[in-house]
Structure 1
Amino acid sequence: MRTSTRWAALAAVLAVVASTFTATTAAAQVPQPYCGTVALWGVEQSGRLSLYLHLGAEKGDHKWERRRFVGTGWNGTVLAGNGDVLYFVPEGTGELRRYRWDGEEWETFDGAEYEVIGHGFDRYVGEGRTLAVVGESFIGIDDTGDLRIYKRMNDEWTNAAGEVIGTGWDVFDRVVPSNGEDYYAFDSDGNAYLYRYNSYLKQWEIQAKHIDTGWGDFTNVVSAGSGVLYATTTDGLLLWYHYHYGWAYDGIPRHVGEGWNGVTAVVSANICSPHPG
């Protein structure tokens, strides 16, 4: 779908009301994932951290609980793991920290609000690089273009040096890993590609499958798993997409939020399931 078509359609949707949007025939062919309540974390440029609970993640409805401020000083790279676990690489360091939110406050580790579980992860921070987590698997793409996976089990690294599963990934502006070992890759022209890896066979099952155009204007794209993607626009809109061998609502985004100017959205890529394989 071309950018002009997508944004013209979105404008028409917003001119009515997002909640009154009627699904097309194509939407009915895309199976609905199970997401429950999706925790979206918002990191402001000042380092202030907020928690947003999206109640309409399965269909792309504009339904939320009230935003809650949960911390300051989050200047750096923030990742969301399983449950209420966050990982953080502070600016100017390669230290990988683990935090856990219990719903009211941050749990403590020997008196501190976090525990350090790794070092040297700054190699994956910066323009053209990727640092992400799916469950307890950390995905990094450095300036060489190598795609490397680090895995943890029972609070221990199972492959401290990481495993290279791909090369040449520096050609993409943005890479968004998801559950089901899917990777959504976006180039400088706004093209979206799907990759899928099989860690058991140690081979790629899907490579460079072109699935859309017009993704070059977003300030941020994150996956909640099972083909559910959130994207933020330059004017602060939060949009919802769902992909499964085709796009829900014929690729027309669902407007699910606003006020995301200067806010980086962070979400666990393991929330929605089952993954439409």
Structure 2
Amino acid sequence: MPGPSTTLSARYGLTPVYPCGTTGDLFLFEHMTPTTGTFAWNQSYQIGAGWQGRVIAGPSGWMFSITTTGELRLLHYNGSGWDDLNGSQYLVLGQGWNYTAANTRNRISVDEDGVIYTLDAAGNLKAHYFNFTTKQWAVQGALLDTGLTQYNAIVATSRGVVYARNAAGAMYRYYIDFWTGATATWVKPVSTVTTGWQNLKNLSSVGGETFYAVNQNNGNLVWYGYNPVTKVWKNNKIIGNGWNNEQDVVVQSNACSRFPWETACNSFGMQDGGAVITRLNQVKKN
């Protein structure tokens, strides 16, 4: 497969943004300019209740919910309602996913392919891949890196790309290179990509190395973008305000991409899940 393109595209021309308050009410807002980051919104409406804990948006309507007891659940929103998954509105994927506390909720994120990344207190960065088509775990706890104790937050974005933030607000870019050679390699950063992120919360990505976050000082919803080909960073475009009271603000993780859409995850499941599994197994340390 070729590497990321310099062109960022939006599959449906918009991004679903999911704010969730402390009462557990989940809403869907449609941001209309995810590739350029302007203040342009369409309709919004409530799509759920009872989402106390941690809300994480995956690709193509797939959503993860972590309860306050650490139960990881998978759901799928089809645009008008929640799909039936084996006789229930959700599948229970596991227990012990303790990412609801203030000091852990920014240590979990999902990329374009639906790969879940976690960073534990010991600095271990791991990848987990649940295949939406087979309804089975394909990769669990793949250890990608160790000793990353300097970071307090991660945000996954493009395929195999994970940004990590330190206490000073500097962002570092880690990624899986699966296009240069015959075998995928794990690439570590040699310097920061950007700085000044210490006051941002609710870090999330629509894919294609495009980010949404809330400024905790003023409640502005802001947009950032990075072009990995030209290495150009677009900083801090304000696309909304009044978002400071939400417990979670997450965005569909593959609304945008720099890779061909025919290989991307869709609402029915994985398109090249085998390739995702292969590259994770090639770079893992365990």
Which TM-score band applies after superposition, normalised by the shorter structure? Answer: 0.7 to 0.9
Match of 1:77 among 27, 39, 54: 54
- Percentage of matched positions with identical amino acids: 27
Q: Residue 163 of structure 1 aligns with which residue?
A: 142
Partner Cα separation in structure 1 for residue 125 and residue 183 of structure 2: 17
Matches within 5 A, 1:24-35: 31-35=6-10
1:217 maps to which of 199, 219, 227 = 199
Contact 1:195 1:209 in 2 (8 A): no
Q: 1:228 aligns with which of 210, 213, 222?
A: 210
Match of 1:274 among 251, 258, 263: 258
- Cα distance in 2 for residues equivalent to 1:220 and 1:105: 25
Unaligned runs of 5+ in 1: 1-29
Aligned-residue RMSD, C-alpha: 2.2
Deviation at 1:57, TM superposition (A): 0.8
Distance apart, 1:198 and its partner CA: 3.4
Structure 1 residue 110, shift from structure 2 partner: 4.4
Contact 2:110–2:155, Cα closer than 8 Å, also in 1: no
8 Å contact from structure 1 (residues 130, 142) kept in 2 = yes
- Indicate the residue corresponding to 1:143 in structure 2: 121
* TM-score for the superposition, normalised by structure 1: 0.80
Does 1:258 find its partner at 2:241? yes
From 130, 152, 160, the counterpart of 1:152: 130
CA distance in 2 between counterparts of 1:192 and 1:97 reads 29
Unaligned runs of at least 5 residues, structure 2: 261-286
Between the aligned partners of 2:164 and 2:190, the Cα distance in structure 1 is 8
Name the TM-score, length of structure 2 as normaliser.
0.77
Task: Please state which structure has a larger fraction of its residues in helix.
Answer: 1
Is the Cα contact below 8 Å between 2:154 and 2:163 reproduced in 1? yes
Shift of 1:210: 0.8
Q: Equivalent residue of 1:143, what SS?
A: coil
1:184 alignment counterpart: 163
Deviation of 1:109 (Å) = 2.9
1:188 aligned partner, one-letter code: A
Greater C-alpha radius of gyration? 1
- Tell me how far 1:32 sits from its aligned partner: 4.6
CA distance 1:209–1:272, change in 2 (3 Å): farther
- Between the aligned partners of 1:42 and 1:80, the Cα distance in structure 2 is 10
Report SS of the residue matched to 2:173: strand
Instruction: Say whether residues 1:95 and 2:42 are aligned partners.
Output: no
Contact kept, 8 Å, 1:137 with 1:149, in 2: the verdict is: yes
1:10-41 Cα distance to aligned partner (Å, 9 max, x none): xxxxxxxxxxxxxxxxxxxx955112211111
1:51 is aligned, of 23, 28, 43, to 28
Q: 1:114 aligns with which of 68, 82, 90?
A: 90
**Local SS of the residue matching 1:66:** strand
